[in-house]
Amino acid sequence: MGLPDAPGDLSSEVDVDAFRRLFPLRFYERHLTESIRPDGRPLGRARDTTIALGAVASAEGSALAKIGSTTMLAAIKMEVMTPSMDSPDEGCIAIDFHMPPICSPIVRPGRPAEIAPVVSKQLSDTISSSGMINLKELSLVSGKAAWMAYLDIYCLDADGALFDAALLSAVAAFSHLQIPAVSLNDDGKIVVVSEENGGKLEKDAVNKERMKLTLKSIPFSLTCVLHKNYILADPTAEEESIMETVVTVVLDSSSQLVSLYKPGGPVLAYTSAIQDCVALTRQRMKELQKILDEANSGMEVD
């Protein structure tokens, strides 16, 4: 940016793509003054979002969530564990977020993305803070056996707002989760009741029917980029890298603030900006709730 006047003079001659690469910040600021973004969105609008449930047949619950081109595949595998002494009638949830090398040019095998463990931690914090899942529902035999839900989320395509897409896929996978019917066998192990031997083991059945978890207060999130006085909802990877200040707001369906996350960044967030981000998240929450409900009702028809 050493040539303050040059970009202005060049803009008429240089091809748009070249200008975008050479002076990314100017390119964006020029759009922002017109209240529009390069992909045609107004500043406050999120990208198209879709959820597909049951994407992984080998898992008890799974979902594929897409926000723009950011794609997340979440799957839950249920295993049995002995609950800890402190909470004998509670199950456990283990959340892991993966960024395999396929998702982005900056991740290479053997050199995992720095952000992956951070998103992973944020996800477990958010899901536990929101109280969405009652861990007591994951109990099987008090003090003896409980469910361990392994939730693994894979980022298949990284194009900004990773946490939002990951949380959406996680929530959707839990809404799709079917806990298998199990019974206690003679060795004191929990086994799945299969169709053929279901009858004879019924006296020891722990979970008679396949069941779904009751999800209360589902958390939804929206990430915004702050730049000067502008607030851009649901940034792409390019927007995140050019304008570095991001704020992620997580609200749950009872309108509680589950998380307000702003890791540094050159722009300071004043009260008014925070309130604007919260308001945008409220709107977004309604959209996401609708998309999730539609995905779930689509499953029931099948």
CB of 12 to other proteins, least distance (A): 27
Largest CA distance in the chain: 83
Burial grade of 266 (CB within 10 A; 0-12, 13-18, 19 or more): exposed
Residue 175 lies near other proteins (rule: CB under 8 A)? no
Residue 190 lies near other proteins (rule: CB under 8 A)? yes
CB of 90 to other proteins, least distance (A): 9
Residue 94 lies near other proteins (rule: CB under 8 A)? yes
Residue 179 near residue 147 (C-beta atoms within 8 A): yes
Q: Binding segment for other proteins among 30-38, 104-112, 162-170, 287-295 (CB under 8 A)? A: 104-112
Residue from the set 35, 50, 256, 289 that interacts with other proteins by CB under 8 A: 256
76-97 CB burial, b ≥16 within 10 A, e <16: bbbebeebeeeeeebbbbebeb
Burial grade of 185 (CB within 10 A; 0-12, 13-18, 19 or more): exposed
Residue 295 lies near other proteins (rule: CB under 8 A)? no
By rule CB under 8 A, what string of x and - marks binding of each residue 13-52 to other proteins? ----------------------------------------
CB of 232 to other proteins, least distance (A): 17
- Rg (C-alpha) for the chain, rounded Å, is 23
Comparing CB distances to other proteins, the nearer of 57 and 301 is 57
Residue 120 lies near other proteins (rule: CB under 8 A)? yes
CA distance 240 to 70: 13
CA distance 39 to 235: 11
CB of 150 to other proteins, least distance (A): 6
CA distance 178 to 213: 8
Residue 258 lies near other proteins (rule: CB under 8 A)? yes
The CA distances from residue 117 to 102, 122, 160, 217, in Å, are: 17, 9, 16, 25
Q: Binding segment for other proteins among 13-21, 28-36, 67-75, 283-291 (CB under 8 A)? A: 67-75
How many chain residues interact with other proteins (CB under 8 A)? 88
Residue 296 lies near other proteins (rule: CB under 8 A)? no
Q: Within a 10 A sphere around the Cβ of 231, how many other Cβ atoms?
A: 18
- 210's tokens: 């396949």
Residue 101 lies near other proteins (rule: CB under 8 A)? yes
Going by C-beta distance under 8 Å and a sequence separation of 6 or more, which residues neighbour residue 92? 81, 83, 135, 138, 146, 147, 148, 149
Residue from the set 114, 202, 293, 294 that interacts with other proteins by CB under 8 A: 114
CB of 30 to other proteins, least distance (A): 21
Comparing CB distances to other proteins, the nearer of 210 and 294 is 210
CB of 38 to other proteins, least distance (A): 15
By rule CB under 8 A, what string of x and - marks binding of each residue 132-171 to other proteins? ---x------------x-x-x-x-xxxx------------
